[in-house]
Amino acid sequence: MGRRVILGMVGLGALGVAFGRQLNSVVNNTVAATVPGLGGVIPAAGGFRIYTVTNGYPEMSEADYRLTVGGAVNSPLNLSFTDLGSLPQTSMTKDFQCVTGWRVDDVPWSGVLMSDLLAVAGASPTAIALTIDSFDGAYTESLTMEQAVRPDVLIATSMYGEPVSREHGGPARLLVAPMYGYKSLKWLSNIDVVDAVIPGYWEQRGYDIDAWVGQSNGRSDEPVT
């Protein structure tokens, strides 16, 4: 059995998986079915699967939300949801591809570019990487600084023109569009600018740290455009 297959099985077994978007949400004219107890075994046509590595989906109101940015920065940040909304907003429509095989085409996102946020914080130009934390208390991610400042790496506060739902990682999540979905950390709480790449949650469990779609984890999926 190939490494990728084993990884996929580990992923499915370990993850709490439920079917896609909220019932009233339509993806490419396909409503993702909700099948209690069967979540994650059968691909939802056209829809996202909802993943969490904890026992549930953490809840955080926009009023209580904070995003902190620290480490090698000139100005450590402690931003409210309103503060995030007052930074320059960027929209992009991107395919979303999980390393286990499912893909959702043409997802519209908007929020704050990581590069804009890092500029506001005054991130050190010689810093190597970011470590990124989730308020689920378990999930982490990493990006090199070069990856982080790409124009397709977003702190997303909106998805399909609506606030990012609790299940999809709201009030704010990452979107790392050119990489497999595990880089797109949900329930974003903290970003530290650091001098070394620290492997994230799934990377400590065998996934590639650089997760380019079509070029990593032994996969040959069509790259996200």
Ligand X SMILES: Nc1nc2c(c(=O)[nH]1)N[C@H]1C(S)=C(S)[C@@H](COP(=O)(O)O)O[C@H]1N2
Binding flag, residue 51, ligand X (CB under 6 A): yes
Binding flag, residue 186, ligand X (CB under 6 A): yes
- 25: Cβ contacts below 8 Å, ≥ 6 apart: 31, 32, 160
Residue 117 — left, alpha, or beta (φ > 0 → left; ψ -120 to 50 → alpha)? alpha
Minimal distance, residue 49 CB to Mo ion, in Å = 8
Closest CA to 199 of 114, 106, 130, 120: 130
| Paired tokens of 82 | 């309103």
136-195 residues in contact with Mo ion (CB under 5 A) are 181-182
What's the rounded Cα separation, in Å, for the pair 39 and 179? 24
Binding span for ligand X by CB under 6 A among 77-85, 132-140, 142-150, 216-224: 132-140
Residues contacting Mo ion: total by CB under 5 A:
3
Q: Which residue is nearest to ligand X (CB)?
A: 181
Strand-pair category, 188-194 with 129-134: antiparallel
63-122 residues in contact with Mo ion (CB under 5 A) are 98
Minimal distance, residue 122 CB to ligand X, in Å = 27
Single out the residue of 52, 142, 157, 158 in contact with ligand X (rule: CB under 6 A). Answer: 52
Sites of contact with ligand X (CB under 6 A): 48-53, 98, 134, 136, 139, 168-169, 181-182, 184-187
